[in-house]
Structure 1
């Protein structure tokens, strides 16, 4: 009989970050990658889809929002289901759902079909990132959790960057359909790899604690900390107190109410600004005179800047006060969106540079919010916390495509659209300032 208890936190913090843990985080990164790739495909392809379907910007804005409605529902449902039925199962559901239905978009013949398929694909997209971040974070040493969470989230930005680069070559040669055929197929392949090689969350297995789970736990621990895994006298226990009842209610218990509400408010505004950029940057640049290859490359630059910011902000949040880092990030996001709007009709080189700067600060700061959510909740409710934060945040992403479409239909200038919406980054700073005051009490 085991006579010594060791927590999962002790196992993860006991030694080096192993190749096995790196592989797990890499798979989570790849799932986030194809989330970003598939999310960005519609934005990049939107001008060509508009011509193919002979549709207006306002109608396509509804189609974009339909995907975000699905993502909102998916984030809520799949996040909570992951806390009850396991992260791996819900990650696989997410991956195959957004892969299969993204593939199907290549065959649309109407805006209505695009709306339907974006909604279903959105269900998977909504569950992919919060579950991938929660899953990867639970295999990370505690001192590296924010860094690894934001690094995995960088997969979204890298995927979106790749979508822009991929589109710049394939869009003019093979048409917009080729983007969805490739994106959906490879996403399903990643899902198959995850099915075969991804373990279940250690914290989840420990808390479920069946006889089969005990064997699986020891096998996984042996690959992370062999000295613990091969000692049959050790009983592995959860790092955190088990929270009884429905996970959702614990988001508002033990002093978490104010932080949860404020975090949701910040996510809504941040997602709005993020999705305004992801949905309409190619169209805004086309309005300013860019060719399909130029706006695809500029869109890639938006996300390329975000890649570096996403990794950097996690490192800074682990070293310094996370809320102070986020305040600086969102202030620079405000400046960058304003400047992008001013220079949107300049030469391609200038547009590309300011696109990268805007992506660096806007998407990087949004990544910082993901990292903050990942470290704000205990393991029992981490999937629920991340799911609800991103799900509520999707309310902003619902509004952004429609709002952008209405602004373009109303013939707003690119400069005016960017200047007006950049102000929201300042409101996020105010929310973070209030969070700081709440936490200092």
Structure 2
């Protein structure tokens, strides 16, 4: 097997998942879970904090939004770094960052201090998820990649739910500071485990020209293979020109249109999700339901989103992934529109909320599986992170627009009818990204065909 050329992607695609690849999925799922716990914590602590510090909802609203702004900053800033210094290093730093600053939040004495610390926590949160998704996608075979990425993102929803149980147990016994201490200590303590077990992307190492011995060592560990230092490892993808500004990588060789469409889709999807999750309980309460009933009905959106994410991931691996995600947005828009026409005291309300979450949440999570597949290794972390960073603008807009529409006197039906429009825009943008992806693929296939005629590719263990 000496003097052989190994196409890493073809090797991974041509073999079954090795135990260490499943471990990598588990580690990325753990990061997603911890991210979800820390991201949702403040919402559950709000009543205790406002009472203890005697501050208004408006004043505390800035604290709740701090992590969203931090998330956007983290995603936009760290993606290019992960493409340069490695996914593993950035992911470790990100987890440690949101853990340390979440612990620091427990010692805040004013809302201003808490705002700053939650902003810094959000930077770590925003950097961790896109980086984990990028790393996982580079060790996942194409045939099941979408499902594995959606499984990872399901950890975020699970973590958000666990955060509520954590708060319900700790607040009565240890106060809100105890929740932040525990929620931050867990990722800090997990970081050494990630340092020990988390691999670097072999595909990134090959693109960056690392020695064959180092790449062979990583592949032998993760994929259970028997490669040696006298082999040559390649990653047959479009070669992008070196640039001074990493963002320029997202606009080379036809990637500009596809990148813009991913941004539009993510922005619109998160606008819908955050408007619904942020204001649906209020709208339901205004319709005459109790606070407990409103919380239970609104929670069905998250339940539906989790089930929808896994379902969409499975379908993406079996059918045209872009069309699956686009259809999910379309059906989600229809469900949201119909949700606005339901009589609020109807027994169908709970079911309809769950179905809307199924399609909108499923489409949004599916988008996170589309993005890693769209970009080459050289710019993948930048592409995925910037999509999530721009998307956070939609999350912030959704929270603000919901409050604005309600203050203008919009009723339940009108608000949800209006949300059908961004769902349609997201669906169209996904299909336009598909066109860009197919155009790039044709060029890539031509380049790969030329490379195959010059090298002997090994794709078996």
TM-score w.r.t. the length of structure 1 is 0.87
C-alpha displacement of 1:45: 3.8
Deviation at 1:227, TM superposition (A): 4.6
| Preserved contact between residue 275 and residue 402 of structure 2 (Cα < 8 Å) | yes
- Identify which range, 303-312 or 373-382, moves more after superposition: 303-312
Structure 1 residue matching 2:10: 3-state secondary structure: helix
Shift of 1:356: 3.2
Residues 271-292 of structure 1 show CA distances to partners (whole Å, capped at 9, x for unaligned) of 2122223444555556566667
Q: How many residues align?
A: 437
Give the drift of 1:124. Answer: 0.8
**Alpha-carbon distance in structure 1 between the residues aligned to 2:336 and 2:164:** 19
Aligned match of 2:77: 77
Q: How does 1:285-434 map to 2 (within 5 A)?
A: 297-298=296-297, 300-338=299-337, 346=345, 353-407=351-405, 413-434=411-432
Over 3 Å counting, the alpha-carbon distance change for 1:66 and 1:405 in structure 2 is farther
Distance in 2 (CA, whole Å) between partners of 1:118 and 1:227 is 43
- Structure 1 match to 2:271: 272
CA gap 1:312/1:222 in 2 versus in 1, 3 angstroms: same
How far residue 90 of structure 1 moved from its aligned partner, in angstroms, is 0.7
- Whole-angstrom distance in 2 between the partners of 1:177 and 1:351: 37
Q: What secondary structure sits across from 2:226 in the alignment? A: helix
How far did residue 408 of structure 1 move?
5.2
Larger Rg: 2
Task: Confirm whether residue 235 of structure 1 aligns to residue 270 of structure 2.
Answer: no
| Alpha-carbon shift at residue 29 of structure 1 (Å) | 1.3
Tell me what 1:245 maps to. 242
Write the deviation string for residues 198-254 of structure 1: whole angstroms up to 9, x where unpaired.
11111222234445xx4442222223444532x454232334354331342221111
Distance 2:223 2:162 in 1: 36
Aligned partner of 2:5 in structure 1 is 5
Corresponding residue number in structure 2 for 1:191: 191
Q: Paired residue for 2:452?
A: none
SS, match of residue 233 in structure 2: strand
Q: Secondary structure at the match of 1:200?
A: coil
Counterpart secondary structure, 1:319: coil
- Which deviates the most, 130-139 or 26-35? 26-35
Distance 2:86 2:436 in 1: 33
Range that drifts further, 164-173 or 148-157: 164-173
| TM-fit CA distance, 1:426 | 2.3
Deviations 1:380-421 (A, max 9, x none): 111011011111111112222333344556665555444433
Q: Residue deviations 1:363-389, cap 9 Å, x none?
A: 221111111111111111110110111
- Deviation string 1:414-438 (CA, Å, 9 cap, x unpaired) is 5544443343212222333444566
Moved more, 295-304 or 114-123: 295-304
Write the deviation string for residues 321-368 of structure 1: whole angstroms up to 9, x where unpaired.
222212221123224444556679659x86654443333222221111
Quote the offset at 1:154 in angstroms: 1.8
Change (3 A) 1:3 1:433: closer
Q: CA deviation at 1:130?
A: 0.8
TM superposition shift of 1:101: 2.0
TM superposition shift of 1:134:
0.4
Q: What displacement does 1:163 show?
A: 2.8
CA–CA distance in structure 1, aligned partners of residues 285 and 154 of structure 2:
27
Correspondence for 2:445: none
Q: How far apart are 1:74 and its partner, in Å?
A: 0.8
- Of 385-394 and 63-72, more deviation after overlay is shown by 63-72
Offset of residue 91 of structure 1: 0.5
Taking a change above 3 Å as real, the CA distance of residues 411 and 326 of structure 1, as seen in their structure-2 partners, is: same
1:159 corresponding residue in structure 2: 159
C-alpha change, 1:43 and 1:330, in structure 2 (3 Å) is: farther
Distance 2:99 2:380 in 1: 25
Once the two structures are superposed, what CA deviation does each residue of 1:25-66 show, in whole Å capped at 9, x if it has no partner? 111111112222222223344455444444444444433333
306-315 vs 238-247, which moves further:
238-247
Which residue of 1 is the match for residue 22 of structure 2? 22
**For structure 2, which runs of at least 5 residues remain unmatched after alignment?**
440-461
Is residue 128 from structure 1 mapped to residue 128 from structure 2 by the alignment? yes
Q: Deviations over 1:128-177 (max 9, x none)?
A: 11100000111111222222222222222222233344455556776554
Change (3 A) 1:10 1:325: closer
Q: Which runs of 5+ in 1 are unaligned?
A: none
**Maintained 8 Å contact 1:147/1:314:** yes
Q: Measure, in 2, the Cα distance between the counterparts of 1:107 and 1:39.
A: 18
